[in-house]
Chain A
Amino acid sequence: MLSPVILVPAVLNGLMTGAIYALIALGLTLIYGVLHIINFAHGALLTAAMFAAFFTFHWFGIDPYIAAIGLTPIFFCLGYVLQRFIIGPAAHGEDRNILLVTLGLAVVIENALLYGFRADTRTINLPYAFNVVEIGSAFLAVPRVIAFGVVIVVALALWLIMRWTDTGKAIRAVAQEKLGAELSGIDVAHIYAVTFGLGTACLAIAACLLIPTYYVNPSAGNAFVLVAFTIVVLGGMGSVTGALLGGLFVGVVESLSGLYLGESLGQIGIFVMFILVLLFRPNGLFGEHA
């Protein structure tokens, strides 16, 4: 069973799936790092983005990879508006309120989707979805390879934004010292909303990368968000590099445990790892010590 003929493709497949996990975790960790809240609406927003990608293809025949160009800014604005005008005001400055508000949002979004589109599982068929790229003995599906490439580019872009732009600097300032940032004239409410918008925009991209090979139904996003939480904890809360590497690592673990324990138990490896990290490195593999 340890033959490289299957081990190599399994690891590569894991890396590709892991890249998408990483992108979802990236959004989550970004929001956590700045707003210091866990966004429970992340899964529901991912589902909403998947529906958006599905219907732009279904109604207008727009390829999901092209749809991403339009959906990303739309979801950025959606995230911005949600934080600025709903989550922020409803929270009254209390972290636990934010938790509840995002949880409430998740319930509302999921049920609105269920009401609008019913529990049906939908998929799209792209002509090239089953084309492959040959790497040695492995045949990698084209959509997965594209997804991997896009995630790397997005992660790099995000890093550049955070490092070099004024907005990025402001985000980092707010994350480090909220009061100090406010005293230096940074509009904290605006930065919070921008961060939430960036996190949501990551979901729009992830949704467009997922939809060619995955299905969508009103609870499709939850499967990913559980994994994304694990990645955020594994990589260290708020760490962008941690989310990226953690995502890839989790993808490989899932693929290999799926291979050895069977499809039905594939995700067990992830959660065993999750518990181990919580026990032995509660700050995550890349997190700073508190």
Chain B
Amino acid sequence: MSRQSLSVNRRRFLQSTALGAAAAAGVLQAPSVLRAQGAAVKVGILHPVSGALSYSGQQGRIGATLAIEEINASGGIKALRGAKLEAVLGDAQSTPEGGNAEVEKMNGAGVAAIVGGYASGICLAASQTAARYDLPYIVDVGVVDSIVSRGLKNTFRFGPGFGVIAKTAIDNLVTINDQANKTAKTVMIVHEDSAFGAGLAKLLNTQLPERGFQVLETIPHPTPTRDFNNVVLKIKAQNPDLVIPANYYNEYVLLARTMQQQKVRPKGIYSVLGGAASSYKFVKEFPEAAQFIMDCNHWFDPKNAKALELKKKIEAKGEFYTYEVYMNYSCVLLLADALERAASADRDKIIAALESSTFTGHVMPYGPTKFVNGQNQGAAPVNTQVVGNDIQVIFPAAFASAKPVFPMPPA
């Protein structure tokens, strides 16, 4: 005990001396800045920037860090005397264990909150670890519903969970199919086999038959998978009207390209959270494989000026404006808003501020922000379709920019 307190004292002493020296130097140069600005608030930015999910993770990091840059450029957190946000970047290495290790490190570094996680598996593990330290955790994407149903007070999800997404997806699918004289009756689901894909497939398997669709087969595959020949052969043999993929970016692209290669062309490809189906990267790189694919996924509000401005900014950097970017961007803004209202970097106060958030400054097509058990009740997905070289919103009507093309015209 005595040794520990001694070392703390010494550290404190060194810190205060250093601070004193800095203050003395500061007084000579810019006294007003030094007196005005609060200490920087550290924010953990956690993504899988290496490993199988590295592309999505890197995109998420771009969105989060850009939001931090913008907040700092416009004067930081005003309630904390213009305190700047300082990103503590973490790489979850595409595994839940990797996410945990980073949360421990971030907690050690003294972050006020963590934003990110991306994959459901990582979000589940990382938010649980953060809960041990009462560390506010804002889930950027992770759609598994158990993320917000474990009673963790520290965990908030701004985006929709897959329960809401599956329901919306099926409602919209029924509408689209009714408009096309109920042309689609049979369905095959191809999903990745971790928490996100398997959970979603289970939901679809119970809900689709209730709405008059017959699920011919449900095919799981691991992430990463580098060969979809067998999966596509099975689709070919069963010849379903609809194929519903639910997986991450690389596998989605490969599945779509293998279907194109094997000349398998169902009446529609209707993804629910398809990793690439509403990605500008996919559409630009493989326009033929992407053509007419529909998706129910996260999407920005196409009528929001801020969202369009952000799109320009991201594209000017030579990056694609994918959902990871604007969801993370919005989550960091949500946190900044909570910091303003909490007027403190204290973890409990931030959690209380998030609980009472009615944040509106985001770029998503959501209803009013209101957190119930950590889930934003306003969050909703959007239906998109690839038409030509662009992605159009086809549902909900309030945001739609095109009518659905279904069934797919023959090649």
List of B residues within 8 angstroms of A125 by Cβ: 285
Q: Report which of B50, B51, B93, B233 forms a contact with A10, defined as CB distance below 8 A.
A: B233
List of B residues within 8 angstroms of A10 by Cβ: 229-230, 233
**Judging by beta carbons under 8 Å apart, are B261 and A214 in contact?**
no
Q: What band does the interface of chain A fall in when counting residues whose beta carbon is under 8 Å from B?
A: 20 to 34
- The residue on B at minimum CB distance from A256 is B230
Q: Which 3 A-B pairs have the closest CB atoms?
A: A263-B221, A6-B233, A6-B237
List of A residues within 8 angstroms of B193 by Cβ: 264
**Judging by beta carbons under 8 Å apart, are A130 and B220 in contact?**
no
**Judging by beta carbons under 8 Å apart, are B50 and A130 in contact?**
no
Whole-angstrom CA separation of A114 from B229 in the bound complex: 30
Q: Report which of A120, A131, A141, A213 forms a contact with B54, defined as CB distance below 8 A.
A: A120
List of A residues within 8 angstroms of B262 by Cβ: 132, 139
Q: Does B260 contact A (CB under 8 A)?
A: yes
- The residue on A at minimum CB distance from B288 is A130
State the Cβ distance, B261 to closest chain A Cβ, in Å: 5
- The residue on A at minimum CB distance from B49 is A120
Q: Does B222 contact A (CB under 8 A)?
A: yes
**Judging by beta carbons under 8 Å apart, are A120 and B230 in contact?**
no
Whole-angstrom CA separation of A121 from B223 in the bound complex: 11
- The residue on A at minimum CB distance from B239 is A5
**Judging by beta carbons under 8 Å apart, are B233 and A262 in contact?**
no
Q: Does B52 contact A (CB under 8 A)?
A: yes
Q: Does A3 contact B (CB under 8 A)?
A: yes
Whole-angstrom CA separation of A123 from B50 in the bound complex: 14
**Judging by beta carbons under 8 Å apart, are A1 and B237 in contact?**
yes
Q: Does B227 contact A (CB under 8 A)?
A: yes
Residues of A within 8 A of B (CB): 1, 3, 5-6, 9-10, 13, 17, 118-121, 123, 125, 130-132, 139, 141, 213-215, 217, 255, 258-259, 262-264, 266
Q: Does B42 contact A (CB under 8 A)?
A: no
**Judging by beta carbons under 8 Å apart, are A141 and B219 in contact?**
no
State the Cβ distance, A2 to closest chain B Cβ, in Å: 10
Q: Does B257 contact A (CB under 8 A)?
A: yes
List of B residues within 8 angstroms of A259 by Cβ: 230, 233-234
List of B residues within 8 angstroms of A141 by Cβ: 229, 261
List of A residues within 8 angstroms of B224 by Cβ: 121, 215
Whole-angstrom CA separation of A213 from B94 in the bound complex: 22
A9-B229, A132-B261, A215-B226 given; A262·B237 CB < 8 A? no
**Judging by beta carbons under 8 Å apart, are B231 and A263 in contact?**
yes
List of B residues within 8 angstroms of A118 by Cβ: 50
Q: Does B225 contact A (CB under 8 A)?
A: yes
State the Cβ distance, A263 to closest chain B Cβ, in Å: 4
**Judging by beta carbons under 8 Å apart, are B51 and A213 in contact?**
no
List of B residues within 8 angstroms of A131 by Cβ: 261
- The residue on A at minimum CB distance from B218 is A262
Whole-angstrom CA separation of A120 from B50 in the bound complex: 5
Whole-angstrom CA separation of A217 from B234 in the bound complex: 29
Can you list 6 residue pairs at the A/B interface with Cβ under 8 Å? A9-B233, A120-B54, A121-B51, A121-B250, A259-B230, A264-B221
**Judging by beta carbons under 8 Å apart, are A266 and B261 in contact?**
no
**Judging by beta carbons under 8 Å apart, are B51 and A120 in contact?**
yes
Whole-angstrom CA separation of A120 from B54 in the bound complex: 7
State the Cβ distance, A59 to closest chain B Cβ, in Å: 19
Whole-angstrom CA separation of A255 from B233 in the bound complex: 11
List of B residues within 8 angstroms of A130 by Cβ: 257-258, 260-261
State the Cβ distance, B18 to closest chain A Cβ, in Å: 34
**Judging by beta carbons under 8 Å apart, are B236 and A5 in contact?**
yes
List of A residues within 8 angstroms of B263 by Cβ: 139
**Judging by beta carbons under 8 Å apart, are A6 and B93 in contact?**
no
State the Cβ distance, A262 to closest chain B Cβ, in Å: 6
**Judging by beta carbons under 8 Å apart, are A119 and B93 in contact?**
yes
List of B residues within 8 angstroms of A262 by Cβ: 219-221
Which of B250, B257, B261 has the most A CB atoms < 10 Å from its CB? Answer: B261
**Judging by beta carbons under 8 Å apart, are B54 and A255 in contact?**
no
List of B residues within 8 angstroms of A213 by Cβ: 226-227
A118-B50, A120-B50, A264-B220 given; A255·B230 CB < 8 A? yes
List of A residues within 8 angstroms of B230 by Cβ: 10, 13, 255, 258-259, 263, 266
List of A residues within 8 angstroms of B229 by Cβ: 9-10, 13, 141, 255
Q: Report which of A6, A215, A263 forms a contact with B222, defined as CB distance below 8 A.
A: A263
